[in-house]
Structure formats: structure tokens, C-alpha cells
A and B are shown apart, each in its own frame.
Chain A
Amino acid sequence: MVDLSLRLGVVAAGPQPILPLAASHLTYATASGTWVGPVDLTIGQTGATVVLGPNGAGKSILLRLLHGLLEPTTGSVSWNGRPLDRDTRRRQAMVFQDPVVLRRSVAANLRYALRIHGFRGAALRDQVDEWLCRAGLTQLARRPATVLSGGEKQRLAVARALCGRPEVLFLDEPGANLDGASIIAIEDLLRAARDGGTKLILVTHDLNQARRIADDVVFMVAGKAKERAPASQFFDAPATDEARAFIDGRIVL
């Protein structure tokens, strides 16, 4: 279904890497209360960081703060010491829990993203074909993206995010509401991207997904990062009570 025989590779973009990503004393508050923070966090170069925690922990908001879709109430986010700018924006991408597809064909969705990253003409067409192939969507190329199943849409969203060769890919609960086969297909894509050099920062409340993908874990409860550890260490020997409760499947408040 998903063809990973073609190697994924990160395009060498700017002269300077954009990682590590650092959050400094980050909070996010609205009239209803403080949703996140304060959070101090540094995310480095390798592998997949999973932000794990129960529902309502503020994971999705943290993700959006890091990606620059939300303005923090206090604190700052920096990319290798620099604030978010146009260049840094273009070198990261995000996939949302409900995939957003444009009201065009599947191929046109990919073309849209590729154009933004400067592809034109024959190179553009080749890239479209390549990514359709990798996402297993070649048969659906001319279909309107809106009539795809949930799993197909999410595969499209992931392909669209990856086709610009981002150095960092944020994912907000990418497997939620999807069937098992789609989840596997998407995780295969993500693993290939990670192996090709893309940093994954993935939010999930699904413990099993975290086990499958994570290289290191940020565990969040009630808006704060309670624990930070490499994956094996976190799952085998969690340091905090809340983490232990979460892994055991008990409700964490």
C-alpha cells in the first residue's frame, strides 16, 4: 500500500540548522484560565519526541505554541537561538488531528504545497507522482480530496506536510479516529521521514502509539511538563506518580 522503497531525505535548506527548539518559561492563558505553563523545554536533533499525557493536559496547545500558531501569554520560543521567521516557518510543517484538505483533487493538494516550496514544471510533476506513490494514493490522484476516507485524508495530509522536506514535523494526534490499517500506513511514513532526518514532535494520548514511535517522551499533566526522559527509560521506569498511573492505565487528573 505505502511504497517506501524510495529514500526520503531532508533537503539541506538554510546554512544554519533550526534545531534545537527551546521553550523558555512558556505559558498560555485565556479568560478561562491558564492552559499551559510555565514550561521550559529543549527539543534536540534526533528522532521522534512524543508529547504524552491524558486528555486536557494542554498537549495540543503546547504543540501550537511551539509551531508558532498561537502567541504565548508569557515566555518565548526560539529556534537555534533565533525567533520564528519566514525561513524557519518554511522548514517545519504540521499535521492536524482532523486532516485539512483543500477542495481540489488529491494531486492538486500536493501541488499546492510543492509550489510553496518552490517546485515548478517537470520537477513539480515528478514530486507529485513520487509522493502519491509513497502515500499509496496514486489511484486517487484525480479524486476530489473531500470525498476520501479519514485514513486517506490523513495520509494525504502527511504526504503534503513531508513533500516540502521539513526539518521538523509536528503532529497532533495523527491516529485519532483512524482505523488500524491507516494508522500503520501513516506510522510507516513517519518512521521513514524520521530515518531520513526529519525531527518528529508528536502529540498523542495513545500509549501504544507512543511506545511504537517515541525516542524520547515529554509527559504532560495539567499544562506542565511533569517528566522528560528517553522512551525506554520512561516506559520501564517512570519517575513520577502521575506517569506511573498513566502507564498503568489508571485515570490521571
Chain B
Amino acid sequence: MQDFGDAFGLAFGLILGGDPDLAEIVGLSLRVTLIAVALSCAIGFPLGAATAIMRFPGRQGVVVAMNALMGLPPVVVGLLVYMLLSNAGPLGVLQLLYTPTAMIIAQCVLVTPIVAALTRQTVEDLAGEYDEQLRSLGVGVSGQAATLLWDARFSLLTTALAGFGRAIAEVGAVITVGGNIDHVTRVMTTAIAVETSKGNLGLALALGIILILLAMAVNGLAMTLRSQWMGRVYG
């Protein structure tokens, strides 16, 4: 228990002391993950909604695949994206390997199935209720998708937060495509990995505590905005 106490002390010391390296790592973690989640939602929301509303041959297979891909191992995603972006790979000319952009891409690949699968379920539940009324009003498929997504917005916020949680906590994808380069592609999780491999377990644990606090802060902020938003919409 002594170690835990030390780690907490170390964590708060780092936060309050305004350690610049820590600020850099936290900033990069947030930048990479928030952008990745935003992109995943931009792709996953319409994809999930379309799958929920439309009926087409092979639909059941698509649903199963979407759900299964939620369990994609991050390290596998990292390997796949690495192979794409490597100089020996098809997209090597873009020179994106070992940059934060590559990390964003990898996390986007990881999170999009989560967003799409959860969106599909949320929208499907609502679509059952709305289907006849929307068709009666003459709303087409894309209009139905937009209406359902907007009406499900509070549930979708939770979906986005689930994606955020998955991304901010993973290390396998970002370490392979980012290279964990100091001051360039080092984020919270890869910093924890480095400190662990140096045997600095106390510091690694302290960074872990800070990461959890970060995740809590983001979730808390989102929930506060959500209730303010609900309050404003409904007077």
C-alpha cells in the first residue's frame, strides 16, 4: 500500500508542479484521441444509422461483423495500419508513419466499429417507434437517419464517450504506428510503458493515476454539458 500512497503523492506533485513534459504528453494524448473519436463519430454515426434503417441482402452479416470488430485488439490494428503506412507499404508515399496523424488513423480504425455498432443498436430501437410516422411524413432514408440520430443524441453522446474511453486507454495501436518518439509521438499510455520498462514503477503508476483523472475529467465535462444542453433545449 506504501507504493500506492507514493504514487498518488507523485501524481499530484506532477500535476500541481506544472511539469512541462507531463503537459506535453497530456496535450498530445487529448489531441490524438479527441480527433480520432470525432472522425469515428463522423463515420460511425451515419454508418450505424444506415445499417439500422435499411434492409439489404447480407445485412445480418454486416451487423455481426460490426459487433465483432468492437473487439479488435489494438496491437493488431497497430500492425495493420503500420503495414499500410510503412515505406514498404501502399501508402508509404504519404510519409505518415511515426507521426501523430498515424496515431489518429489507428485509433479511428479502432473506435469506429464501436461507434457504429452502438449507434446501430440505439437507432434501431428508436426506428421501431418512428418508422411509420416518418414514412407517412414522406421522409426519405437519409432524412430518417438524420432525424433518428438527432433524437438519439443523448445516447449517442454516451457512445462517443465509450469510444473515447477505449482510445485514451490503449497503447498497442499508438505505440506501433507512432514509435513512441520522445516529444513527437509519446502519449500517456506509451509513457507509462516506457517508465515501466525502465523499472520506474512509481512514476508509471502516477502517470496511470493522472490518465484516469483525465478520463474522469473528460467524462464529467461531457455529462455537465449534456445536462446543460438538455436544460436549454427544454427550457
Q: Which of B129, B138, B234, B235 contacts A100 (CB 8 A)?
A: B129
Question: Known: A100-B130, A100-B132, A100-B133. Contact between A105 and B234, CB under 8 A?
Answer: yes
1/0 contact string of A61-79 vs chain B (CB within 8 Å): 0001001010000000000
A143 touches B235 (CB 8 A): yes
Q: Does B64 contact A (CB under 8 A)?
A: no
A86 touches B138 (CB 8 A): yes
Residue in A93, A100, A112, A142 with the greatest tally of chain B CB atoms within 10 Å:
A100
Residue in A94, A102, A113 with the greatest tally of chain B CB atoms within 10 Å:
A102
B138 touches A90 (CB 8 A): yes
Q: Does A144 contact B (CB under 8 A)?
A: yes
A116 touches B147 (CB 8 A): no
How many angstroms from the CA of A206 to the CA of B147 in the assembled complex?
34
How many angstroms from the CA of A143 to the CA of B135 in the assembled complex?
25
Q: Who on chain B is nearest to A145 by CB? A: B234
What is the predominant secondary structure among interface residues of chain B facing chain A?
helix
How many angstroms from the CA of A112 to the CA of B147 in the assembled complex?
9
Q: Does A82 contact B (CB under 8 A)?
A: no
Size of the B side of the interface (Cβ < 8 Å), in residues, is: 15
Contacts of A102 in B (CB 8 A): 130, 147, 151
How many angstroms from the CA of A31 to the CA of B200 in the assembled complex?
68
* 10 further interface pairs, Cβ-Cβ under 8 Å (given A103-B151, A112-B147, A113-B137): A64-B132, A67-B136, A89-B138, A93-B137, A94-B133, A94-B136, A100-B129, A102-B151, A116-B137, A116-B139
1/0 contact string of A7-29 vs chain B (CB within 8 Å): 00000000000000000000000
Contacts of A103 in B (CB 8 A): 151-152
Q: Who on chain B is nearest to A90 by CB? A: B138
Report the minimum CB–CB distance from B166 to chain A (whole Å): 27
Contacts of A113 in B (CB 8 A): 137
How many angstroms from the CA of A166 to the CA of B137 in the assembled complex?
11
How many angstroms from the CA of A69 to the CA of B133 in the assembled complex?
9
A69 touches B132 (CB 8 A): yes
Q: Which of B132, B138, B139, B233 contacts A96 (CB 8 A)?
A: B132
Chain A contacts with B in 90-118, Cβ cutoff 8 A:
90, 93-94, 96, 100, 102-105, 112-113, 116
Contacts of B151 in A (CB 8 A): 102-104
Chain A contacts with B in 141-161, Cβ cutoff 8 A:
142-144
